[in-house]
Structure 1
Amino acid sequence: MVDREVTPASGALPDDWPARPEPILVRNRVGTFDWDLASGRVHLDRMALAILGLPPGGFSGRIADLARTGRVPRADSARLDALVARALKDGSESYGTYHRVRGNDGSLHWAYSQGHIERDAAGRPCRILGLLRDADAELALSDRPGESDGERRHQTSVVETTTAALAHARTVQDVIDFFQDARAVEHLGSDLLVLGLVESGRIHLVAEGPSEHFIPGTRYTRIDDNFPMSEVIRTMTPRFIESREEFARCYPWLWERIKDIGIASAAYLPLIAQAKPIGALGLLYREARGFSRQERNLFIALGSGLAQSIARAMLFDQEHDLAEGLQQSMLPRRIPDVPGAQIAVRYRSARLGRDIGGDWYDVIPLPGGRVGAVIGDVQGHDTHAAAVMGQLRIVLRAYATEGHSPATVMARASSFLHDLDTDRFATCTYAEADLSTGVVQLVRAGHIDPLLRHCDGTSRRLPVAGGLPLGLSAEFGRLDYPVTGVELDAGETLLLFTDGLVEQPGADLDEGVEQLSRLVAAGPEDPQELADRLCDMVEGRVGEDDMAVLLLRRQGAAGARPGGRLQQHIAPADPEALSAARHMIRTAVRAWGARDRSDDIELVADELATNALLHTDGAAVVTIRMLAGPERRLRVEVEDRSSALPRRREPGESGVSGRGLLLVDRLADVWGVEPRGGGKSVWCEFVLGGG
């Protein structure tokens, strides 16, 4: 500097010359702090408060409260804490680093913190005197002479490009796939890269590129090992290696194994989320290079963004695993084998969202060769929907197993859901199929109609009368559910499904059903293969709804039909109806070729019907039918409204009472009692000859 003589013309020196440190610091936007380590109290001057965006008097003076303000983002705060802790521990006199500060409007700005550590006579740190300055202006300029604007823009675009690419990553595997792609090194501007994630206290090397350079002993490493990736995770501070010599000096074991790859420099970045290290990224270069201050801070920003992407993906994976586990635990563990039927079920979660919903299916074996098939969908896509679904599935199964009619099963399930005091409703279809006769009783509660696939391969929508969704019908007092009866021939398939199978964004539901009908018609006969074909269709598109499907195919040769099914209702005081029932049984027995056992069948059926009328207060329903199967069997059922079960006993002294069930036991080949909701059904079967 050349001294210049001050002349009277140029004026005298200012009165406050030379200026005190305070105005110099203020005009250069530099604040100060004084941190007493023993008490944890810190003093921030007005400029330091302004840089942090805190109003005067708005800070309590405790270091713990400073972290709670959220002015320094968590990742930067964790890195700064680790840097200070390391300096205090290793005997350093000072430290300094760049970090971000969140403004009042939520925007992020750069600042630089620098501290001088004072120690007592024993060498223990007791106080930190430091500076905090606004660093936005200096980081906007390159600190490397000759660096072009294009190079600076390229460095900045590394962070932007990588952040944009990872914005679409939903799972940890998506993130790994990005870094395993050969284009990843192009995005990052490096020659090679390695990515490691912390798993169970170890570092798992999950990606390297653009091609694999596996080094034995590095797939899993300890956090306390002498590796650069271990060091940055341990200290939560970036590590920049600028030459081969530095690499060989600091990490001799690793250098001996990678020197032939041609690496000359590297930048290792800790990945910190919620103040905890979750992994590290290594960017390796074939040429020795120095890392400018701007580059280092860009890398820090890159590591912060990448850590947030991975943390978000980890959270998604955890939620997905939880949701999938909850969903699977609510669905039946296994589908029972049902004689006379082939059954296939499938569930697929949504491709978007939290992968959980209220769709369910169930298969309920019922007495007398019958089976209940359920498909349903609870409103919503969250754990609450899954929990409601699980309760509803169990209750509906219980009502069906008790022997209630399909309409009663649906009405009671609706009342149960309404009593849960939840804001959810559910749609449902319940089908009770008698596999011996092929008769199917269908009840629908606001659900989509099922499909029927015929033996010739054609498929059609099966119109089913319906009521309100479960929960809503109870709320509005409309618990009547009409029953639709259809016959399922041998070789035909009933297809029950939720709307996730046919709904597509922007498409009409009817179009989806028509497309499904064509797919079912062109698909394989085997229910398992057809179910797989339907799942392939769903997985090929993006949707926000899960899907459940149940296929029930009645076995047997196509065209094979049982002899028939006849039914007679008998009122308590109607002898003509009882006579008509006897006539029905006599006629059916002879028409179906059971003359050899006609007397036994007529006697047992009359005994069961008479007992029902004598020992109960209500009417009785007599049903006689032929069962399909390898042998010809005739079944007689007498249903009443009493829940009291009959018991076999010895005749009384008069010899009049007590012979009924003894007679049934002696004449029928097999007999039993089934609960039927509020009543019961006593049944017996007779094996017929070939006639």
Structure 2
Amino acid sequence: MSGCRAEADEELGYAHETTGGPRTEAVQAAVTGHVLTFTGTALVAVYAFDADGGELRLAETVRSPGGPYALPASYPLSGRSPVADAFRSGRPLWLSPAELAEYGPSAPGPESAAGLSLGVLPLGGDGRGLGCLVVVDEAPEGIDADRRAFLELYAQHVAAGLEASGPHGRPEQRALAGSTLDRLQVGAFVLELSTGRMTADTPTLELFGIPLDDFDGQVETLLASTVPDDVPALMSIVEPGRLTPGSSQLAFRIRRPNGELRWLGLRCRVQAGADGTPERMLGVVAEASYLRPTADEVSMVQRLSAALAGATTIRDVGEAVVSALRDPLRARRVAVAELQADQLVVSILAPAEPTAWPEVWRSQWRSEFPDAPTHALPTLAETMRAGHVGLWPPGADLEPGLSGIGPGGLAVLPLPANGRIVGVCLIGWEQPHEFGPEERSLLTATAGLVGQALVRAHALDAEHELATMLQRSLLPRKLPVLPGGVAVTRYLPATMGLEVGGDWYDVIPLSDGHVALVIGDVQGHSAAAATIMGQMRTAIRAYAVEGHPPDVVVSHANRLLVDMETDLFATCAYVDLDMEEGEAWFVRAGHLQPLLRRPDGATEELTIEGGPPLGVVAEAEYPMTAIGLSSGTLVVLLTDGLVESAQLDLDDGVQQVRERLARADPSDPGRVADELLGSAARRHDDVALLLLRYDGMRVRPIRARWTVWRLPDAVMHARRFAARTLRTWGLEGELDVVLLVTSELVTNAMVHTTGEVHLNITLTADRLRIAVSDHSPRTPTKPTSVDWEATGGRGLLLVEAVSHAWGSVPLSGGKQVWSDITLSTPRDSGQSAAGGQDR
């Protein structure tokens, strides 16, 4: 080998011995020349493990004629010999001539054979050793590091070929399989990572069907022959930017110039420089026709690939793996988990019952699925570090956290992507399961598909979370506390697609005990739809707070959207509910009909006369429909994502929601909302839901109103009205504070505005509100500092000092400044008060 010695490929005249039967001298010479030239040694042999005899038996030998050495026919596994020691330890054994001589008669050759170096490489692993590959070299300095690396990779190919040559899962029946070396067409290459230059020997180029003179030393020349579906996986191993020191393996397909489809196996090792940076790659490529899948396996991979193509979340990836592998492989348990730091974040377990999994998994079952620490599963952690599929037969010696998953056999699939391990898939069998080479190939191919899908889904999940965060930031963070009712909302983003949608809702407290309920849906899923949604919600809230009636609020919003000159439109349902009287005024702009649940459990889809969607017709009319509500009634507003999809007709969806609404317990509105959402896992559209339970006010407010005429003694008359009203209501204890607030608010309106001024006094269960409205839209501003020698500027500071809360709200053509005063003795339903006044 030594840099891929292709020039010696044509040398013949060597001997090949095998238990596989006689063959012609030309075939023997060709095979012998290829094997010895590739390994760069004078002898190559395969010892296979014979379980019945407890020994390693010589199965195949390729050697140069006339060499001063010979190999024993077998080695007892219990004895001391280089072959037995390497097999028991499971690690390669490299012996210099001096070290080989210390073994005495057990060494492979007579004692007089001086100057021989020896390499013994175990074949197989995962608790199922197949035997050993023995190489004898005549170089007295021993086998150098590069040749050792190539031989270790070559041994892995020999092990795969030996495993494929015998009955599946029966190591003792492979002992006499033979003719593995001559069937194994193998080549080697060296890739310099700093320059991207590749040196490949002649067998490698022959495997790819590339003439020696046509190879330009570029990786892309080999990739051009690779089946397009397999290029991403191959690039993840050979692309310099993704490499990390260590070993990798991959089965892939190429298309030769004559159209032949050929399976190749690649095993490579990245070597790092002195600074730890990957410096070059040593690789061995072998013909692997035994990996060609059966029709059933091809179908399984195709189904999995199709399912993963449509997976947009990590949960989707896990469900696709379970669906594609669990039943076809007759497995009992399947788990898929992401690797985050030293923690396995489980995306799915099948079955999902905690009792079906070992204790280490159940101990951290915090939510739907547990997180498992890798330090509690050392075998799993080691397999993930190695990056190779791990297979353990029935009864393997594993830690309880793994042995309990697959007592009849366990497969651990590290999931590779972008040059790293991103997760793991575990497949466990309850009954004894035998692993064959085809199944190993299938699981290896599956791991590559799942790893790439997991990374893609993780990115999509992050993007979807970002879009959801954007949309939620445009919705109300919390709902107001309503007198006489409870409102709850739910919003669920679509699981299909990643763009932000335009569904919105709002609950807007209004004056005089009214509340506005709004729900809407902007056409499409895009940033533009989200922008329109935010503008519509803000506009409707502003129009509602100004005191416009429901039809005017919706008409104003419609004209605003038309003036935006956008191609998008929006549907909307608006309800103005009097929380004192239970009278609701509905306005509908192309939206779904509201639903009601009466106190007796009867549900109803209201028939609300509506207008076109917002943004379609500038002068559209939106009629109002009045509905009376009794205490205990549920009002439900929703968007079409809940009741309509490609698989669900709108009428059927509405009927399903009504049935859930009828069965729900109205005492818990939050639970009612959750039950209305149902259990649909995949949604093609966003879902917004607004639900209000109308209870009615236990203590109804009392109101009094006074029109303040612009007279020199207007403030005095306002104070007299306030005093007379409080005495009538029996609230003399609050008289001084109320008179102070009345004086300051009325004086402020008379001095700084023009037109009519109105004084409103409202008594609720525990509060007294003094409100003064005028025709100036300018909001009063509290001074930041006051010169106490000045005659003005102190009024609002006094109001703030004596009030529980105060503020200003816009009204149609003006504003209202209000102050809330807490009652020293709250009213209850047993107290009475005289009716309100209106002057």
Whether these two folds match at TM > 0.5 is yes
Cα displacement string for residues 341-367 of structure 1 (whole angstroms, at most 9, x for unaligned residues): 332333344465559632221111223
The residue number in structure 1 matching 2:196 is 40
The reply on whether 1:360 has 2:500 as its aligned counterpart is: no
**2:233 maps to what in 1?**
75
Q: How much does 1:268 deviate?
A: 3.8
Amino acid at match of 1:547: V
The one-letter code matched in structure 2 to 1:188 is L
Q: 1:58, CA displacement in angstroms?
A: 11
Identity of aligned residues (%): 30
Query: Aligned runs of 1:12-27 on 2, under 5 Å?
Result: none
Q: Residues 334-345 of structure 1 correspond to what in structure 2 (within 5 A)?
A: 334-345=478-489
List aligned pairs for 1:142-541, cutoff 5 A: 159=301, 171-173=313-315, 187-188=328-329, 197-203=338-344, 207=349, 211-214=356-359, 219-221=372-374, 227=379, 229-239=380-390, 254=398, 267-282=411-426, 291-292=436-437, 294-315=438-459, 317-350=461-494, 352-354=496-498, 357-381=501-525, 385-386=529-530, 388-404=532-548, 406-407=550-551, 409-411=553-555, 413-414=557-558, 417=561, 423-436=567-580, 438=582, 440-451=584-595, 459=604, 461-469=606-614, 472-473=615-616, 478=618, 481-482=621-622, 484=624, 486=626, 488-491=628-631, 494-503=635-644, 505=646, 509=650, 526=667, 528-529=668-669, 532-533=671-672, 535-540=674-679
Following superposition, the deviation at residue 195 of structure 1 comes to 5.2
Could you tell me how far apart the structure 2 residues matched to 1:128 and 1:523 are?
A: 65
Shift in Å at residue 318 of structure 1? 3.5
CA distance in 2, matches of 1:57, 1:495: 77
1:603 paired residue number: none
- Give the superposition deviation at 1:198: 0.9
TM-superposed CA distance for 1:161, in Å, is 7.0
> Taking structure 1 as reference, are residues 361 and 60 closer, same or farther at Cα in structure 2, changes over 3 Å only?
farther
Q: Is the 8 A contact 2:776 2:815 kept in 1?
A: yes
CA deviations on 1:588-617 (whole Å, 9 max, x unpaired) are xxxxxx999xxxxxxxxxxx99x9999999
Distance 1:264 1:449 in 2: 58
Write the deviation string for residues 374-411 of structure 1: whole angstroms up to 9, x where unpaired: 11112224565445434432443344335555455445
Letter in 2 for 1:503: E
8 Å contact kept, 1:162–1:187: no
TM-score (norm 1): 0.60
Distance 2:450 2:781 in 1: 73
The residue number in structure 2 matching 1:675 is: 810
For 1:268-289, what per-residue CA distance to the aligned partner results, in whole angstroms no more than 9, with x for missing partners? 4321133331123355678796
Secondary structure of 1:328's counterpart equals helix
Per-residue deviation, residues 211-267 of structure 1 (Å, max 9, x unmatched): 4344699941259x963x3344324333456798xx77xxxxx46997899969765
The Cα shift of 1:426 comes to 1.9
Give me the whole-angstrom Cα distance separating, in 1, the residues matched to 2:268 and 2:817. 91
Q: Which residue of 2 aligns with 1:573?
A: none
Contact kept? 2:225, 2:256, Cα under 8 Å: no
SS at match of 1:503: coil
In the alignment, structure 1 residue 111 sits paired with structure 2 residue 251: no
Q: Could you list the per-position Cα deviations for residues 73-93 of structure 1 after superposition, in whole angstroms to 9, with x for gaps in the alignment?
A: 3334334679x979x879xxx
In 1, Cα distance between equivalents of 2:779 and 2:462: 52
SS at match of 1:187: coil
1:548 matched to 2:688? The reply is: yes
Matches within 5 A, 1:112-151: 112-113=265-266, 139-140=291-292
Over 3 Å counting, the alpha-carbon distance change for 1:284 and 1:497 in structure 2 is closer
1:274 & 1:221 partners in 2: Cα distance? 21
Q: Counterparts of 1:479 and 1:64 in 2: how far apart (Å)?
A: 65
Cα shift readout 1:305-343 (whole Å, capped 9, x = no counterpart): 333454455445444544444443332222111223332
- Distance of aligned partners of 1:545 and 1:190 in 2 relative to their CA distance in 1, 3 Å threshold: closer
Q: Distance in 2 between the 1:259 and 1:342 partners?
A: 53
Distance 1:674 1:350 in 2: 36
Q: Counterpart of 2:575 in 1: which secondary structure? A: strand
**Pair 332,116 (structure 1): closer, same or farther in 2 beyond 3 Å:** closer
Distance between the aligned counterparts of 1:118 and 1:480, measured in 2?
74
For residues 113-166 of structure 1, the C-alpha deviation after alignment (integer angstroms, 9 at most, x for no partner) is: 57899999xxx9998898867755x5449xxxxxxxxxx666666656766887
Which residue type is aligned with residue 499 of structure 1? D
Question: Could you tell me which amino acid in structure 1 is paired with residue 384 of structure 2?
Answer: I
Aligned-partner SS, 2:576 = strand
Task: Call closer, same or farther: CA 1:629–1:304 in 2, change over 3 Å.
Answer: same
Q: What one-letter code is carried by the residue in structure 2 that aligns with 1:237?
A: H
The 8 Å contact of residues 360 and 548 in structure 1, kept in 2 or not, is answered as yes
Matched letter for residue 679 of structure 1: G
Question: Alignment length, in residue pairs?
Answer: 585
Shift of 1:103: 9.7
Task: Render the CA deviation track for 1:18-69: whole Å, top value 9, x for unaligned.
Answer: xx99xxxxxx999997745553223789998998799999998554897799
Q: Is the 8 A contact 2:492 2:688 kept in 1?
A: yes
The alpha-carbon distance between structure 1 residues 280 and 675, as it changes in their structure 2 partners (threshold 3 A), is closer
Equivalence for 1:99: 252
2-side partners of 1:256 and 1:674: how far apart?
A: 67
How far, CA to CA, are the matches of 2:557 and 2:255 in structure 1? 54
Alpha-carbon separation, structure 2, partners of 1:127 and 1:633: 82
- Residue deviations 1:406-433 (CA, integer Å, cap 9, x gap): 4554455446556767653322223333
Question: For residues 443-462 of structure 1, what are the alpha-carbon distances to aligned partners after superposition, in whole Å with 9 as ceiling and x for unaligned?
Answer: 43332343455667664514
Query: 2: CA distance between counterparts of 1:514 and 1:565?
Result: 46
Shift of 1:636: 11
Q: Is contact 1:271-1:280 (8 Å) kept?
A: yes
Q: Is the 8 A contact 1:73 1:101 kept in 2?
A: no
Closer/same/farther in 2, CA of residues 405 and 187 from structure 1, 3 Å limit: same
Deviations 1:550-607 (A, max 9, x none): 234544389x999999999xxxxxxxxxxxxxxxxxxxxxxxxx999xxxxxxxxxxx
Equivalents in 2 of 1:646, 1:189: separation in Å?
Answer: 75
* Alpha-carbon distance change, 275 to 613 in structure 1, aligned in 2, over 3 angstroms: same
CA 1:241–1:457: 2 relative to 1, 3 Å = closer
Q: Residues 37 and 347 from structure 1, CA distance in 2 versus in 1: closer, same or farther, beyond 3 angstroms?
A: closer
Name the amino acid aligned to 1:238. Answer: V
* Counterpart Cα distance in 1 of 2:225 and 2:23: 49
**Aligned equivalents of 1:107, 1:417: Cα separation in 2:** 63
Counterpart of 1:233 in 2: which secondary structure?
helix
CA contact (8 A) 2:547 2:811 kept: yes
